[in-house]
Amino acid sequence: MSETVIKLENLTKKFGNFTAVNNINLEVCRGETIGLVGPNGAGKTTTIKMIAKILRPDSGKILIRTNHSELRDLQHVSSTVSQIGFLIDIPNFYNMTAYQLLKYFAKIQRYPKDKIENRIDELLELFKLSEWKYEKVRNYSKGMTQKLGIIQAILHDPEIIILDEPQTGLDPLARIEIRRYIRELQSLGKTIFVASHMLYEISEVCDKIALINFGKIIGFDTVENLALTLKTREINCLLLKPLDAEKLAPLLNRMVEKLNPYLDQNLDPKISKIPIQYHPEHQGLKLYFDGKTVSKGEILKILVKEFESDFTVVSFTQPKTTQLERVYSQMVIGDTPEGSNKLNGDDFKDE
């Protein structure tokens, strides 16, 4: 078991009466890549800013271990020896050239003088910015500025790298490049925190996901283990013609009766109160079933044979979302302050 390098203990941050980060506990081991995922305003950036010492926690502690030392309270560790690199928010790099700017950052991080030039060139090359070395950063595109922000975060070769939405503003190819680079950092044994809304990107590179909502960690595990908590499987079934509103209730009852052995018997009422819903806006049925492939086959057979005179099924699919998207929508949407909500039909795509 690898040693803990970051430990958040009952970390809390308030802005006035509003608790942005609420008693967070999290432990990260050396070499792990953690994805910090959650809706807008969940408290991701606030958490990262506390680790970066831009914000001071109201209560709780951040402990870090660098250079295989002991776990120490971040309050007492000077930022130049803390060996953490940050990218927070979209950088605003004023009137300097990339070269001037990186040299400046290397200097404040006390990166060895004789190695600065090579390091800057190596990273500019890696991020395909070499030609822009002496260009003013204000002339850069958004994506280029973002890449420069990442270079700035890793320039001094920190052990712990914390990136707040590194892929924002990057085109698909640049995102793939960043992903590749994160993998390279992983292979060097770095510990990485990435906050992102790009669930696919996150699930591709992260070892574990910390799901954060309303300032609290609501799940912290591998995507696979988080997915084990998923209790439901959905099927979207599109119909040739809309269903007659008057006949809908008895029809749904009949369907629930016939399909009962294959439907989800423990459906979480936060997700849906009934196992079969009709979505007129999509002209389709959403069925919550037990997740077994055999059941899926039986359901389709019954729908086609026994309901032939009621409707015609034109497609029958499980929503094409990634595992993490499914975990996210169930855990985050189910976790409202009022404690109740339901999935909408936005994922009702016939793909």
Ligand X SMILES: Nc1ncnc2c1ncn2[C@@H]1O[C@H](COP(=O)(O)OP(=O)(O)OP(=O)(O)O)[C@@H](O)[C@H]1O
Closest CB to ligand X among residues 53, 349: 53
Nearest to 190 by CA among 211, 207, 168: 207
Helices in the chain by DSSP H: which ranges?
A: 44-51, 98-108, 113-126, 142-154, 172-187, 199-205, 223-228, 245-259, 293-306, 323-333
Total binding residues toward Mg ion, as defined by CB under 5 A: 2
State how far the Cα of 53 lies from the Cα of 21, in Å rounded to an integer.
15
**Contact status: 43 vs ligand X (CB under 6 A):** yes
Nearest to 278 by CA among 287, 266, 290: 287
Among 11, 28, 34, 46, binds ligand X (CB under 6 A): 46
- Binding window for ligand X (CB under 6 A); candidates: 39-47, 218-226, 284-292, 343-351: 39-47
Among 22, 33, 45, 145, binds Mg ion (CB under 5 A): 45
Closest CB to ligand X among residues 40, 67: 40
User: Nearest distance from residue 188's CB to Mg ion, in Å?
Assistant: 26
- Binding window for ligand X (CB under 6 A); candidates: 40-48, 113-121, 221-229, 235-243: 40-48
Taking CB within 5 to 8 Å according to partner kind, which of ligand X, Mg ion, none is near residue 166?
A: none
DSSP SS3 for 57: coil
Closest CB to ligand X among residues 16, 172: 16
User: Nearest distance from residue 222's CB to ligand X, in Å?
Assistant: 21
Closest CB to ligand X among residues 41, 261: 41
- Binding window for Mg ion (CB under 5 A); candidates: 39-47, 136-144, 265-273, 314-322: 39-47
Cβ partners under 8 Å of residue 28, min gap 6: 4, 5, 6, 7, 34, 191, 193
**Contact status: 146 vs ligand X (CB under 6 A):** no
Q: Which residues pair with 160 in a beta bridge?
A: 84, 191
**Contact status: 15 vs ligand X (CB under 6 A):** yes
State how far the Cα of 51 lies from the Cα of 33, in Å rounded to an integer.
16
Structure tokens at 103: 């040299």
Closest CB to ligand X among residues 25, 253: 25
- Binding window for ligand X (CB under 6 A); candidates: 33-41, 178-186, 276-284, 341-349: 33-41
How large is the angle between the packed helices 98-108 and 142-154, nearest 10 degrees?
30
Closest CB to ligand X among residues 56, 305: 56
Q: Which residues pair with 28 in a beta bridge?
A: 6
**Contact status: 40 vs ligand X (CB under 6 A):** yes
**DSSP for 63-80, written as a single string:** EE--TT---EEGGGS-TT
Total binding residues toward ligand X, as defined by CB under 6 A: 10
Structure tokens at 102: 């990186």
Enumerate binding residues for Mg ion (CB under 5 A): 44-45
Enumerate binding residues for ligand X (CB under 6 A): 15, 20, 38, 40-46
